[in-house]
Amino acid sequence: MADAVSLRLFFHDRCFDGAASSAVFTRFYRECVAPKVEFRFTGMSHRATKPFAEDVFDSPENAIVDFKYSSSPKVTWWFDHHQSAFLTPADMQHFKQDRSGRKFYDPAYKSCTKLLADVASSKFGFKASPLAELVYWGDIIDGAQFPTPESAVELKEPATQLALVIEAAPENDLVPRLIPEMARRSLQEMLELPDVARHLGPLLERHRNSIEILKKRAEIVDSVIYFDVSDLDLEGYNKFIPYMLFPQCHYSVGVSASPMRAKISVGTNPWNEGGADKNLASLAEKFGGGGHPRVAAISLDPGNLDYAKKVARELVDQLRS
């Protein structure tokens, strides 16, 4: 493939929507832009530092999906739906002035996967129907559109089991290997891949154990759930467990850790939003994180765990107020 286009694709790492939107982009680009393309995938996390160094855009084509905007002239494609897509007003202005016709933003979408599928279909003639299952579940999972918290926690569907592996498997280069497969396989077929199957059993067992752990660790005050599992191997825990255990609560704030980062997760109970009027993305942005009005996260260097705990407590206090 000596004459192939080289494209580096940046995506929201350890996130089902990030992986699914990458898969949609991969298939769209190959079918509608350049059949001969060599993809290189780079996962990104919401951190309290500038996410992109200029030298990371090292391909003739550089695309970003489900992640923050970059004004670098080397970025040729961009799709996102996060409120926190723009780090600065200058970035937003740069986007508004773009005339490439290859950069798209719509925070009204529940998932970047559906945004990308819709835009690629309407503007570039992409036939997204072979990926209908993936697009559907990308929207359900990222938009927290499960009918009940139990249905979100049971993990009976292939999509929810694959999401568990994507979000929690202890293997840093796994998701880039899965994205090309997601672009051409059904979700059930994805579970049968050796790279997925060898992680799924242990992760399901860990998931079941995590329900009891979160039940014991949770502190409940004024409709806010707080828990710290940073001393355990629980990064990538199911974010809906707290709402199944404590359905009366409006918000949750959790601290977790891995060798790669210390993470603060903050969310709104999708099944009990009454009185939940805080914009979580705006709160997270103050500490370098981001997300959506109803769910957000902050990633810090692993050595900053004490600071992460301090920030989490500040967020809890703000939500309880």
Average pLDDT of the segment spanning 243-266: 95
Spatial contact of 187 and 159, defined as CB atoms under 8 Å apart: yes
Closest CA to 228 of 88, 237, 83, 13: 237
Average pLDDT of the segment spanning 214-233: 95
Helix (H) or strand (E) holding 259: none
Computed over every residue of the chain, the mean pLDDT equals: 94
Spatial contact of 77 and 110, defined as CB atoms under 8 Å apart: no
- How far, in Å, CA of 36 to CA of 51, rounded? 29
The percent of residues in the chain predicted with pLDDT above 70, rounded, is 98
Q: Where are the alpha helices (DSSP H) in the chain?
A: 16-32, 89-96, 112-124, 132-142, 149-153, 158-168, 174-182, 187-191, 194-217, 241-245, 280-285, 305-320
- 63 by DSSP, 3-state: which? strand
Give the tens place of pLDDT for each residue, 109-129: 999 999 999 999 999 999 999
Model's pTM, two decimal places?
0.92
The residue with greater pLDDT, 292 or 54, is: 292
pLDDT of residue 221: 87
pLDDT category at 236 given cuts 50, 70, 90 is confident
Q: Is the pLDDT of residue 170 over 50?
A: yes
Give the tens place of pLDDT for each residue, 127-169: 999 999 999 999 999 999 999 999 999 999 999 999 999 999 9
The DSSP call for residue 175 is: H
pLDDT of residue 48: 63
The percent of residues in the chain predicted with pLDDT above 90, rounded, is 88
Helix (H) or strand (E) holding 83: none
Average pLDDT of the segment spanning 274-300: 90
- How far, in Å, CA of 316 to CA of 222, rounded? 10
Give the tens place of pLDDT for each residue, 40-88: 999 998 776 678 988 999 999 999 999 999 999 999 999 999 999 998 9
pLDDT of residue 1: 40
- How far, in Å, CA of 26 to CA of 9, rounded? 9
pLDDT category at 2 given cuts 50, 70, 90 is low
Domains of the chain: 5-196 (3.90.1640), 218-320 (3.10.310.30)
pLDDT of residue 248: 95
